[in-house]
Every structure is written in C-alpha cells, then in structure tokens.
Amino acid sequence: MTEIFSNLAMGFSVALAPANLMFALAGCLVGTLIGVLPGLGPVATMAMLLPLTFYAPPEGALIMLAGIYYGAQYGGSTTAILVNLPGESSSAVTCIDGYQMARQGRAGSALAIAALGSFFAGTVATVLIALFAPGLSQVGLAFQPADYFSLMVLGLVGAMVLAHGSLIKAFAMVALGLLLGLIGTDVNTGVQRFAFSIPDLSDGIDFVPLAMGIFGLSEIIMNLSRHEDERTVLASKVKRLWPSREDFERAWPATLRGTALGSVLGILPGGGALLSSFAAYTLEKKLAKRPEEFGRGAVEGVAGPESANNAGAQTSFIPMLTLGIPSNVIMAMLIGAMTMQGIAPGPQVMTERPQLFWGMIASMWVGNLMLVVINLPLIGIWIKLLSVPYRLLYPAIVVFCAIGVYSVHNSTFDVGMTAFLGLVGYALIRLGCEPAPLALGFVLGPMMEENLRRAMLLSRGDPMIFLTRPISLSLLVVAVLLLATLVLPSLRRSRETVFQE
C-alpha cells in the first residue's frame, strides 16, 4: 500500500505539471465539446487529433487523448437531456428519461445528477485502476507468446459477440481488419504482402489514415446523407442546477449500482461505456420500485447509466495499460498513439515508464474534477453551439483531417488513402457493419502474427503449445464458450432484442 501511495505521489507530480494540466484541460474541453455536438464522437475526434500527438511529449499526448474520451461521456449527456439527441453513443440511454425530466422543468436536476454521478464513478474507477493495475501488470510479465496470442483471440471474439447486429458481419469486420494489418513487408522474410507493387504500401497502412477515414470521414459523409433534424432546445437558461432531496435519495443507490456494473464491464473485451450504460438501465428498470416511471422521467434512468458509462470508460484503461491489449476501439487509438511515440504497449510500461503510467492514472482524477467544474457553468454555451448548422462545421473538420494526416509523414498518398477509407467506412455503415471490430483486428493483427510465430518457434512448430500452457488454454476455452453461447437460440434472440432496444 505504501508503494501505491508513493507511486501516486509521483503520478500527481506529473499530472499537476503546468504543461500536463493544459493538456488535460484541452482534452476535457474538446471531449465535452464533441460529446455535445451530435454526429461527432470520441473515436472520430481522437482519430483526427492523433497526428498532433506526434509532436507532444508522451505523457501530455496520452493525458489529452484520455481526457477526450471520458470528457465525451460528460458532454454527451447534455444534449441527451436538453435536446433528446445523444451527442455520444453511450448517452443514448440517457435520452429516455433525461429528456422527459427536462420537459417537466427538471433539466437542471437531471444535468447535475448526470455530472455528479459521472464524477463519483470516475473517481471510484480511477481508484480501482490504481489498486489493480500494478498486480495485473506483474501477471502480464508472466505471459508467454502463446498466452498473448490466446488473449488476443479472446479479445477479438469478445469484440464480435458484443458488436451490434449480425455475428457474421462482426466476424467479417474482424477478418478484414486482420487482413489490412498484414499489408506491407514481412518482418521475417522481407517479402511484400498485399502491397500490389505500390511503394507507399511497403510499410503497410498507417493507423492514422485508417482511423481517420473509417471513423472520421465516414461519419461526416453519413451525417451529410441525412436530413438535418430540427433541434429545439428547451430553454436558453437552465434554472436550479441542484437536485432536490428526493432526487438525491433516489439517485445515489442507482449511482452505486451503475458504478459497480460499469467498473466490471469496462474491463471486458469489446466492453466499455456503451455496453455499461445499456446494462445499467436494464438493471435499474428490473430493480425499480416504480418501473412504470421509466420512460417518463425516472431519476434512476439518468443516474445509473451515466455512472456506468463513465466507470466503464475508465476501467477499460486497465487491460490497455497493463497488458497492452485494447478492450475497445478507443483503447486501440491510445495504443496507436503510444506506438507513434515509440513506446511498446505491454506490462513493461509500468516498470520502464513509471512516470507515464502513474501520471496518466493521476490525470484521471484531475480530469474528472475539471469536468465537473467546467461543465455545469458552461451549459449555456453548449446550448448555443447546438444551433450551429452542420453544413458549416463539416468543411472545417475535413480540412483539419487532411492537414493532420499529411503532417505525420508529409505524404499526399496518406491523404488519398484517408479519403478512400472514408468511402469504405461509409459503405460499411450503409451495409450495417460496425467498423469498431475492424479497427481492433487491424491493431491486434500484427501483434497476433508476431506472437503466433514466436510461440511456434519456441515449440519447434508444435501447435499443441497453445493447449499445453494453462493460461493459453484457459483463455481459449473462454473464447470458445463465448462463441458457443451464441449458438443457443434463446441467448441469440435476447442479444438481438437488447441491441434493438
């Protein structure tokens, strides 16, 4: 315990450095802003800002990107409550009861409960990261190549099972991501694979053009293809930002349950904020004394999901920081940022770069406090931003994307690749395919291949090494069980029902 306190003291010395405070503030403000604006999500924004992190120190870059992620969870609730538009996908559940509370003149109460619940959940999740990350990191050092390969297989299976829509489409997205990750020169033989004799593809597709195209540009094209919805903001001024005593009494048990549920689900492969918020709403509805109030302004319907999505957002950092395995596409972005900084993700980060590791954990406390302080007073500004037409926003976003991609390698090919992948991403969305498993497959593909080859070299070509090592066998058994459960008709139907809801 003494060691944890000394490590946290070092972390706070990093997080409270003036430059890193500015990075945290910038991340929280940008995260809140893109959470407020429907159509822009943390994935697209982080993809656009990845090139900028190339020029920032590693600690500042990761602190800013993390701030964008959990800041978007806060901002998304503002539009969900005031305008009935989820600014961020995990805030979709908050629309159901948050908007009804606003229509009843309780918008301030709903916003305060969302902010305070998120702050509490974020604080608890950060404590969990500080307590459990070092132990998991030590476990990670015991992993052999075969174990890492099996862990990545489990991660991709989890991403498929928890993806929206058809399981076959999710599998196809993972396979496409794995294939895209193999483009370039084979490290062992020096032979080019799938490069079609294009010199610019000899090093493979860079993560920045892929992320920016698949998530950023495709989202812009998708938004432009829709009719611009009329946004009717309920009030220019939100009165009474403090909840009533009855609201508090009903909100705190839901906040505790949401925090606990989100903290667990955030660690799972493919989990995170979105799954946590939906699961928390379902749980609150089942446990409610007055279930008929859900959908008509139930306080628990705001407190539970908002706490869960923030807890899930932050505990999803645990597998990324300790094992170098992304549990969702946002964590894949952060691994991409670490790789750009020349840092190899994995359990060795805590021992080799303790300032980065503990500085990032401490910055989450600082960021959560910043979000509460800056969010409630700025509600009036966020309301005004909602009236800006999307047709004025998207040209600036596209230009920013192009400049960002070009600045990484000074390559016009990368700009063209981003535009092409933007069209691919749009086609995938229109076909009902979720791009997140593709990004996870792309990030994990080269790592899987490397660990597969290492494992086969160590075993002299014997594939039984994946079954003879206890850790590897356990992970593969869990992956098989996950897939097997979806074969059962009742579970498959319930999964489809959840996603429809």
Q: How confident is the model at residue 54 (pLDDT cuts 50, 70, 90)?
A: confident
Tokens of 493: 């139907």
Phi, psi (degrees; rounded to nearest 5) at 295: 95, -5
Greatest mean pLDDT range, 67-81, 172-186, 311-325: 172-186
Q: How confident is the model at residue 368 (pLDDT cuts 50, 70, 90)?
A: confident
**296-305, 420-429, 433-442, range with greatest mean pLDDT:** 420-429
Residue-wise pLDDT for 214-224, tens only, equals 877 887 787 77
Residue 459 has pLDDT above 80, yes or no: yes
**Token digits of residue 497:** 């029902």
Instruction: Please say whether the beta carbons of 311 and 125 come within 8 A.
Output: yes
pLDDT tens, position by position, 331-348: 878 888 888 788 877 777
Q: How many Cα atoms sit within 13 Å of 15 on the Cβ side?
A: 26
Q: Which residue has the higher pLDDT, 275 or 149?
A: 149
Q: With 0-12 CB in 10 A as exposed, 13-18 as middle and 19+ as buried, what is 191?
A: exposed
pLDDT exceeds 50 at position 232: no
What is the structure's pLDDT at 231?
44
pLDDT in tens, 245-279: 887 888 888 889 988 888 887 776 655 666 677 77
Query: Is pLDDT above 60 for 234?
Result: no
pLDDT at 347: 76
Tabulate helix, strand, coil % of the chain (nearest 5). Answer: 75, 0, 25
